[in-house]
Chains A and B, each alone.
Chain A
Amino acid sequence: MTNWMQHLPILPVVIPLICGALMLVVRDSNRRGRLTLGFVSILAQLAVAITLLCLSAGYLPNEWPDGVGVYLLGDWPAPFGIVAVVDRLAVVMLVLTAILGLSAWIYATARWDRAGVHFHPLFQFLLMGLNGAFLTGDLFNLFVFFEVLLAASYGLAMHGSGRARVTAGLHYVAVNLVASFLLLIAMAMIYGVTGSLNMADLAARAGELGGPDRRLFEAGAAILGIAFLIKAAAWPLNFWLPATYSNACAPVAAVFMIMTKVGVYAMLRIGSLLLPTGAPAAFGGEWMFPLGIATLGFGIVGLIAAPQPERQASYCAIMSSGTLFAALGMPGVSLTGPALFYLVTSVLALGAFFLLLEMIERTQAFGADLLAVSLEAFDLEDPESPDSSDDVVGVAIPAAMAFLGLSFVACALLIAGLPPMSGFVAKFTLLSAALQTTDSGPGMGTWLLLGFVIFSGLACIIALGRTGIRLFWSVEDTVVPRLRLSEAGPVSLLIMVTIAMSVWAGPVMHYLDQTADYLGTPSQYINAVLTQNPGRDVAPIETLEVRP
């Protein structure tokens, strides 16, 4: 590995940090400067993420043991210093973030970035927080990066302002602040018991605990789990989500799709590390599975009841979280590989869906969907302010309605999990794996999972079919919108990626199954982190060790 490449693991955090900070120096009126910076930053992040993926999977020559790259910040040895850890799971999330971020960002440049101040720096900081949360190797930095991404998301959720957004944002901020405090309490408890915050070190030490220490540790881990479940929108901790996501402007809602998955990621990461020594309650199947099923049920009811397309999309996000929790927590079997495939597909599909819905809304003459819209929607200010209307010169795509219709069908198929899209591949592999693995035949849990996942698909088809009919067929005077390339392009890109995922489902699934196997043997991660020798005398570690 060449010299500069050893710093690659930290670049996904450093690039958006520097670009975001530079943007604050560039004046808001210098739009071209900010756009260039943003574009360069996101492209660089995508390139770095793909390089890291190749390194971690072994496609490029590297010196990483088991494909786990460990970057020691300040060259401090692992349990004491801060580490960034690149492994198979982290790079999947990094690439996903970069693709979704690129699409949402391009879409935003068409119009939405001018709806308020500082869209671009906030967007960069959001990406920085996301990348950092996926890369960090210790609990406290997980908290710090959560705060970075949340602080940016507070600004973005209210981007464009308006009464509905601010009211929803108030609840969102309050709920997330409480979740952050829970995270801090949990972290402090875990530190108090184990004397470490490094995740690899924690996994090694958790097994040595006994008696009251172990019980205290379990309590801390349970609180940690609750904090992650709030972020991941598991029932009954998800009432903040529909209002916030459906009121946020389209590109922001699209990029928020990955934010609930950060919670899922954290559960998966910490759960898999703690599993060999007995996973604490919230990370184990006996809690995660029922919560997932309940979340799915809540999502189904909400989806069918939701009047607005954006709200339906929000409930689809909740359903996707529910499916993931039910699959990851499924007792007795490991569905991690198919669950990861589902995670990637659902993030891309829902991101595309949010972008698409905003374009479709523009085809509706004002008041056409009056009956179906709840009263609160009228508080929303018309986002089409005079200076950013369709008069802006752009490339008008012919057959705009055909594009919107086809994309809508594609998204609906993806979210519901029907062939030929990759959503079907995801759900099919998930359910077939659930049916295959148990020796004594499928049990109660399998049938619950099967029933709820299939029924959620049916609910999607009913709700989205109804919305599609209302938006495309039953309207007498649709306005054919002028779509710009920068709006249609990102949606196509996201859908193309999912199509590619169903065409090359074999290799992708193989990679994700390898990731699942890797997560099943956390000793690889633990060894890679703890055996890092920064090239100095590490002997004092033993004597310096502070045990409570």
Chain B
Amino acid sequence: MELVLSLAIGVLAGSGVWLLLRPRTFQVIIGLSMISYAVNLFIFSMGRVVLGVPPVIDPDMADPTLYADPLPQALVLTAIVIAFATTALFLVILLASRGFSGTDHVDGREAQK
């Protein structure tokens, strides 16, 4: 499972970075979203990859290896909300830029041929 997870993170981050470096604003925003997915999965994986165990620690049998770490899940939740909000904001700026410049190039004008 570790292999699948790390491959997924790698593919998402790689595609995200590639899209981020593209000249069209829509590609940039999709790239940012993909990176945010990769980052969220990465935070999750930092709480150690475990299956089918509860996240809440029982004080009576406090062997932490028996539980999933609840903190990364809280962090991911916050990160998702923030990434969602900033992506929405970016979308508005993208539309404004398009409205002002009439092009969807990130520099607000087409590259010189």
Contacts and interface: CB of A to CB of B under 8 A. Distances in A.
Interface stretch (A102-110, A168-176, A421-429): A168-176
B101 interface: yes
Contact of B20 (A161, A163, A166, A178): A178
A32 interface: no
B26 to A, nearest CB: 12
Contacts of B89: 151, 154, 173
B72 A188 contact: yes
Given A170-B106, A188-B46, A188-B72, A181 B57 contact: no
Interface size class of chain A, counting residues whose CB lies under 8 Å from the partner chain: 35 or more
Interface size class of chain B, counting residues whose CB lies under 8 Å from the partner chain: 35 or more
Interface of A, secondary structure class, is: helix
A64 interface: no
Contacts of B93: 154, 158, 166, 169-170, 173
B79 A184 contact: yes
Interface of B, secondary structure class, is: helix
A161 B39 contact: no
A188 to B, nearest CB: 4
Interface in A102-151: 140, 144, 147, 150-151
A167 B108 contact: yes
Interface string A171-197: 101100110110011011101100001
A192 B72 CA distance: 9
Nearest to A163: B100
Interface in B55-113: 57, 59, 62, 64, 69, 71-72, 75, 78-79, 82, 85-86, 89-90, 93-94, 96-97, 100-101, 106-108
A174 B19 CA distance: 12
B100 A167 contact: yes
Given A170-B106, A173-B90, A188 B97 contact: no
A172 to B, nearest CB: 9
Question: Which of B39, B46, B48 is most buried by chain A, counting CB atoms within 10 A of its CB?
Answer: B46
A544 B75 contact: no
24 contacts: A140-B75, A144-B78, A150-B86, A154-B86, A163-B100, A166-B93, A170-B97, A170-B108, A174-B28, A177-B32, A177-B86, A178-B32, A181-B35, A184-B39, A184-B43, A184-B79, A185-B39, A185-B42, A187-B75, A188-B72, A540-B59, A543-B62, A545-B64, A546-B57
Given A173-B89, A173-B90, 8 more contacts: A151-B85, A154-B86, A154-B89, A170-B108, A180-B86, A188-B46, A192-B46, A548-B48
